[in-house]
Structure formats: C-alpha cells, structure tokens
C-alpha cells in the first residue's frame, strides 16, 4: 500500500472516530441535562440547593455527575440513588463560603 493510500485511509478512519466522539459528547450532554430534570422532579429541594451553591444550572448538572473523592469516587447521583441525601447536602454546605448564610432546604439533619 502506498503512503498516500495509507494516509487517506487513516484520515477517513480518524474522521469517523472524531464523529463518533462528537456523538458521544452530544449523548452525554443530553443525559446530564435529563438527569438534572429528574433530580428536580424527584428531589426538588436538593436540586435547589445544588443550584444555590453552584450557581449555574449547567455547572450544577455537571457537578452532580462528577465522581468525587469526598464521595468515595462516586457521584452525587450515586449517593442519592442509595438514599444518602445527607452526605450530598453536607458536601454542598462544606463548599459554601463562610460568609454565606447556612440555609436548610429539605436536607435531613
């Protein structure tokens, strides 16, 4: 096989891989937004708390999906699925600034 043919085949396969990755990114973003809507429906107070402390809806939705050391490498959604609302709320309160007033919004203490 010539160098040119190899380069063209590689470019086509890399193009296909790049398109597949873009598709995965779109699917992941849709899942992140869908997950936050479910959070708002099932745990509205927690969703409000996340928005309050994170500030922006997109960032809040991504924070909920992040695997965090404080959660033993799990996401906030993992904890909520196990019924552990307290740990999620405690983490959010721990991230708040000292000057921000503490406000309980539906978290069990």
Determine the length of the chain: 109
- Within 10 A of 47 (CB to CB), how many other CB atoms are there? 22
- Within 10 A of 13 (CB to CB), how many other CB atoms are there? 10
Q: Among 12-21, 28-37, 39-48, 75-84, name the one with the lowest average pLDDT.
A: 12-21
When pLDDT is averaged across residues 10-33 and rounded to a whole number, the result is 93
pLDDT digits (tens, 9 = 90+) for 57-85: 999 999 999 999 999 999 999 999 999 99
Residue 94 pLDDT: 84
Distance CA 86, CA 103 (A): 14
Confidence grade of residue 5 (pLDDT, cut at 50, 70, 90): low
- Angstrom CA distances, 37 to 32, 53, 60, stand at 9, 17, 11
Distance CA 27, CA 1 (A): 37
Flag whether pLDDT at 103 surpasses 70.
no
Taking Cα atoms as reference points, which of 99, 88, 86 lies closest to residue 50?
Answer: 88
Q: Quick check: 76 and 47 in contact, CB under 8 A?
A: no
Is the whole model's pTM more than 0.85, yes or no? no
């Amino acid at each position: 096989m010539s160098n040119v043919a190899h380069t063209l085949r590689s470019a086509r396969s890399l193009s296909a891989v790049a398109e597949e990755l873009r598709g995965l990114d779109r699917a992941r973003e849709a899942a992140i937004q869908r997950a936050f809507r479910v959070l708002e429906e099932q745990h509205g107070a927690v969703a409000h708390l996340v928005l309050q402390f994170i500030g922006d809806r997109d960032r809040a939705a991504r924070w909920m999906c992040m695997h965090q050391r404080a959660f033993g490498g799990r996401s906030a959604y993992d904890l909520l699925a196990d019924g552990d609302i307290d740990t999620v709320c405690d983490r959010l309160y721990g991230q708040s600034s000292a000057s921000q007033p503490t406000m309980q919004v539906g978290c069990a203490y």
